[in-house]
Copies of this chain bind each other. A is one copy, B any other.
């Protein structure tokens, strides 16, 4: 029959990148703040190339081999002459130098610890953290719920305090991370190592060959997102450093402590915690939902990231407003979102169907079980055994002791006689004979374990006994097509 109309892949990839819409500038004007243009600019050729994930993966490897040590700075080895060119210096300042100053001031004793300032730093840390996890991540990047403007404004303002870039930039990168997980187009590609996915991707100049783009028109449609992106530098400087200094100064007369602890050091902590989601959450923990990709569930990561540590669930069910689904798992972000919906600040909280979640669990458990199963000795398959008629059997019985027929299968039990839990006498009385009924309840209805032990002793199938053998084997889960049925 003639083929159905096919989806035009180039066109679809243009849609997926949002490239059909008025150009959406993702990176900030100021230098290459938090990200560089090279990472997101794409031309029509690039879109055409993006049309097959399999090919992307193949080409990733080819490119890597071909360009090894050539061309773009990210492909050149580090030398004394070029090392400074490898680095994104603006990001170095924002995530390395500034926080370092904080630690210096704290350890050198220049900034005294005021308990009230520390308490405020914790509170402010939580406000910023929730703005990232509930706002930047679950609201804007994943649209897992909708929020009214007061809540969105809160997330947008205090999200700046974390010094992790604008919603627009952050959400764009994060959508790429989900769409291209574990490929070179994933900005924080976990396959490139813990250090790369933690901070390296920000501190190093990216290879433009691995650029990718995602549609973020829904974000730029939001005036709050546009406003935050336009005034990001100002908002960041104010919320990250000036505001905490002013608050601690005004209330506790501790301007400098506020700057150091509620400003610099708090920024360091929230940055590192967030980075853990890209590094630790792709390295350490369980994979209860799927192990084809790197994301992992880990309560430790959840603890430092307001619940984002259940990352295996999250990558499998990205538009679920929850990351943890069990009551005993720590996911305060989910609680914040849920609570805000009770007072009308948010609505349309999305959940994946419980059915789909349970299916993933069952399939992954099945995989693990199949792996365990494959390491055990289940005895030969019935179909791999020779077929003996009565003459064969009698001849073999004369040659070796220990043959017993049970349910159409000949077993050599000689090595088991002394170990038989039912005693030597009984098993000896069955040698050279058909013990089908005795084994199956005539004397003792043997356990499942006995069936397994028995199967390891198989030597042949009895002629005309195949049907019985297949039925017997089925009791412990072996599946054969019944020879006759076909």
CA distance A429 to B8 in the complex (A): 9
Cβ-defined contact, A15 with B429, below 8 A: yes
Known contacts A447-B290, A449-B289, A456-B355; is A362 also within 8 Å of B376 by CB? yes
The answer to the question of A423 belonging to the interface, with a C-beta cut-off of 8 Å to chain B, is: yes
Cβ-defined contact, B453 with A353, below 8 A: yes
Cβ-defined contact, A360 with B53, below 8 A: no
Q: Which of A308-367 contact B (CB under 8 A)?
A: 315-319, 350, 352-353, 355-363, 365-366
Residues of B within 8 A of A9 (CB): 437-438, 442-443
The answer to the question of A445 belonging to the interface, with a C-beta cut-off of 8 Å to chain B, is: yes
CA distance A243 to B270 in the complex (A): 71
Distance in Å: Cβ of A87 to nearest Cβ of chain B: 32
Cβ-defined contact, A442 with B12, below 8 A: yes
CA distance A209 to B23 in the complex (A): 90
The answer to the question of A71 belonging to the interface, with a C-beta cut-off of 8 Å to chain B, is: no
Cβ-defined contact, A6 with B452, below 8 A: no
Known contacts A7-B430, A12-B429, A434-B6; is A449 also within 8 Å of B376 by CB? no
Distance in Å: Cβ of A360 to nearest Cβ of chain B: 5
Residues of B within 8 A of A393 (CB): 4
The answer to the question of A444 belonging to the interface, with a C-beta cut-off of 8 Å to chain B, is: yes
The answer to the question of A80 belonging to the interface, with a C-beta cut-off of 8 Å to chain B, is: no
Contact of A443 among B12, B375, B452, B456 (CB under 8 A): B12
Copies of this subunit: 2
Known contacts A1-B464, A53-B445; is A425 also within 8 Å of B215 by CB? yes
Residues of B within 8 A of A390 (CB): 1-4
Cβ-defined contact, B4 with A477, below 8 A: no
In the complex, residue of chain B having the shortest beta-carbon distance to the beta carbon of A316: B449
The answer to the question of A44 belonging to the interface, with a C-beta cut-off of 8 Å to chain B, is: no
Residues of B within 8 A of A486 (CB): 486
Cβ-defined contact, B372 with A16, below 8 A: no
Cβ-defined contact, A434 with B4, below 8 A: yes
Contact of A1 among B316, B429, B463 (CB under 8 A): B463
The answer to the question of A237 belonging to the interface, with a C-beta cut-off of 8 Å to chain B, is: no
Residues of B within 8 A of A463 (CB): 1
Cβ-defined contact, B434 with A3, below 8 A: yes
Known contacts A4-B462, A355-B377; is A363 also within 8 Å of B435 by CB? no
Residues of B within 8 A of A433 (CB): 4-7
Q: Which of A441-473 contact B (CB under 8 A)?
A: 441-445, 447-449, 452-453, 456, 462-464
Residues of B within 8 A of A377 (CB): 355
Distance in Å: Cβ of A482 to nearest Cβ of chain B: 13
Which interface residue of A430, A453, A462 has the most chain B CB atoms within 10 A? Answer: A453
Distance in Å: Cβ of A243 to nearest Cβ of chain B: 35
The answer to the question of A207 belonging to the interface, with a C-beta cut-off of 8 Å to chain B, is: no
The answer to the question of A399 belonging to the interface, with a C-beta cut-off of 8 Å to chain B, is: no
Distance in Å: Cβ of A215 to nearest Cβ of chain B: 7
CA distance A453 to B363 in the complex (A): 14
- 16 A-B pairs with CB atoms under 8 Å apart are A7-B430, A7-B435, A7-B437, A7-B442, A9-B442, A12-B443, A16-B444, A52-B437, A53-B444, A53-B445, A316-B449, A319-B421, A358-B376, A359-B449, A363-B452, A365-B369
For the complex of A and B, the 7 pairs showing the least CB-CB separation, nearest first, are A53-B441, A4-B434, A319-B421, A53-B445, A7-B438, A9-B442, A359-B452
